[in-house]
């Protein structure tokens, strides 16, 4: 990959999606992943599914240890559904889907694809 292409991906040029609806699950277009999530208000997530299954591409998620898949026993835990991510935070990883926890979101999240 050329550096210029990498820069475009880092700045969201492969698309994004917005949600403030707890009943909605964001999934990226075919062949892409959610690579960053920006929180526009203090929110928690109901579903965050990691795309990777190896130490090189696993991300934290709501179902297993994510980046801690190392059989040697790296540190890490799945995130709890009541974990609150603060407004303005952007998290980076590789996920196949994300949804908000609970109703009442006003500002929501922006998911960037890569």
- DSSP code per residue over 33-58: -EEEEEESSSB-EEEEEES--STTT-
Q: Tell me the whole-structure pTM to 2 decimals.
A: 0.79
pLDDT at 69: 44
Mean pLDDT, residues 49-69 taken together? 66
Mean pLDDT (the chain, rounded): 79
* Overall number of domains in the chain: 1
- Percentage of the chain lying above the pLDDT 90 cut: 39
- Please check the confidence at residue 50 and state whether its pLDDT lies above 60: yes
* Structure confidence at residue 63 (pLDDT): 72
Structural domain span for residue 47: 3-113
Predicted pLDDT at 98: 93
Q: What are the beta bridge partners of residue 100?
A: 45
């Amino acid at each position: 990959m050329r550096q210029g292409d990498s820069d475009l991906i880092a700045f969201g040029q492969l698309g994004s999606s917005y949600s403030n609806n707890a009943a909605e699950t964001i999934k990226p277009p075919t062949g892409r992943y959610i690579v960053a999530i920006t929180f526009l208000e203090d929110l928690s997530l109901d579903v965050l599914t990691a795309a990777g299954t190896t130490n090189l591409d696993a991300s934290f998620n709501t179902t297993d240890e994510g980046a801690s898949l190392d059989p040697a026993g790296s540190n890490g835990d799945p995130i709890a559904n009541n974990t609150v991510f603060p407004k303005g935070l952007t998290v980076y990883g590789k996920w196949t889907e994300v949804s908000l926890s609970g109703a009442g979101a006003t500002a929501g999240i922006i998911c960037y694809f890569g």
